[in-house]
Amino acid sequence: MTKFKSPASAICAGAAMLALAGAAQAADLGATDAPIKLAINEWTGQHITTHIAGDLLTKMGYKVEYVTAGNYPQHTALADGDLSATLEVWTNNVGDIYPKMKEEGKIVDIGPLGLATREGWVYPKHMEELCPGLPDWEALKSCKDAMVTPETFPQGRILSYPADWGTRSADIIKALGIDYKAVPAGSEGALVAELKAADARKTPLVMMMWAPHWVFADVDVGWVELPAYEPACDTDPSWGPNPDATGDCGVEAPETVKVAWSGFEEKWPAAWAFLEAFSVDTSEQELMMKAIDQDGGKVEDVTAAWVADHEAVWKPWVDAATQ
């Protein structure tokens, strides 16, 4: 069975969460005869989050069911009580339905999940030798010639998301006024393959990416330091380095939250208290994603291994909720 060892950051995060859990008051289990239905969405990290929480809820004495649900439709099911909770909602990818139903009181936030998320341009660490001045984005101006390819000549190349994921890289390039071209990747797999190839061959690469992602358990990357995101960046041309454009900044870091049916806390008080304390460490999730997506492990086995190896992290959450 795969074993996962906590890095120092995970220990710090775990210690903080232990303090939170210890301060919580124990609650009644509630309706243990009724299953808690947890949403399973479209990405591996969410599967990991949900199965760890489900395993621990089962240890507490609850019945747990996993229900496949789309990222948008799940909110309607939560509002109707057909789903009990969804445990990894990215607030930058929920459209209008999440805030609308939350405002109407049909769904409620349990609290933040704790993932350290990020989106922007990354590069394999050897790029700091090929492009001195990185991670500062302005270094890209002086090392453009190293980034030129036949398909982009005379511009430098930045590998972007697949074309049907939008034009975020192209928009940032235009707003910053740098002489680069965004070249769409064919798929997520193509993004990963090119990053790993550039790392192995020590060739130039800057590309759009997001975290957490399992590839960061394999490849040491740096993040280009774009101007820090501010809401004014989207609307005020005078904000940022380009006085003639909006969007001349980095991407706002997404938040991840746990969301429930409005009747959850009343029906399962101890489960609610546990889920309030429950969090996921980014680096550990990435290791588990790699074990599943790259190494062929099963979600159930990988998450069970984490639970077995990390009782010191999760037991205080459970104890505080139930004792």
**Cβ contacts of residue 103 below 8 Å, gap of 6+?**
none
| Residues 312-321 pLDDT 10s | 999 999 999 9
**Whether the predicted pLDDT of 10 surpasses 90:** no
Residue range(s) defining the domain that contains residue 203: 118-234
Residues 140 and 86 in one domain: no
Judge contact between 168 and 161, C-beta under 8 A: yes
Residues 266 and 212 in one domain: no
Last residue of a domain, one of 201, 234, 267: 234
Residues 94 and 156 in one domain: no
| Residues 190-230 pLDDT 10s | 999 999 999 999 999 999 999 999 999 899 999 999 999 99
| Residues 81-116 pLDDT 10s | 999 999 999 887 777 889 999 999 999 999 999 999
| Residues 137-191 pLDDT 10s | 999 999 999 999 999 999 999 999 998 788 889 999 999 999 999 999 998 889 9
The CATH number of residue 90's host domain is 3.40.190.10
| 243 is a domain residue | no
Chain-centre distance of CA 149, in angstroms?
31
Give the count of domains, the chain: 2
Tell me the longest C-alpha to C-alpha distance in the chain. 67
| 142 is a domain residue | yes
Measured CA to CA, the distance from residue 218 to residue 240 in angstroms comes to: 34
Structure tokens at 250: 């980095």
Structure tokens at 170: 């192209």
| Residues 15-50 pLDDT 10s | 344 434 343 457 799 999 999 999 999 889 999 999
| 3 is a domain residue | no
| 249 is a domain residue | no
Q: What is the pLDDT of residue 11?
A: 36
| Residues 295-311 pLDDT 10s | 999 999 999 999 999 99
Measured CA to CA, the distance from residue 2 to residue 297 in angstroms comes to: 9
**Single pTM value for the model:** 0.77
* Count of CA atoms in the C-beta half-sphere (13 A) of 199: 19
Mean pLDDT, the chain, integer: 90
Residues 209 and 126 in one domain: yes
| Residues 246-264 pLDDT 10s | 999 998 888 999 999 999 9
Alpha-carbon torsion, ordered 197, 199, 204, 208, to 10 deg: 80
| 239 is a domain residue | no
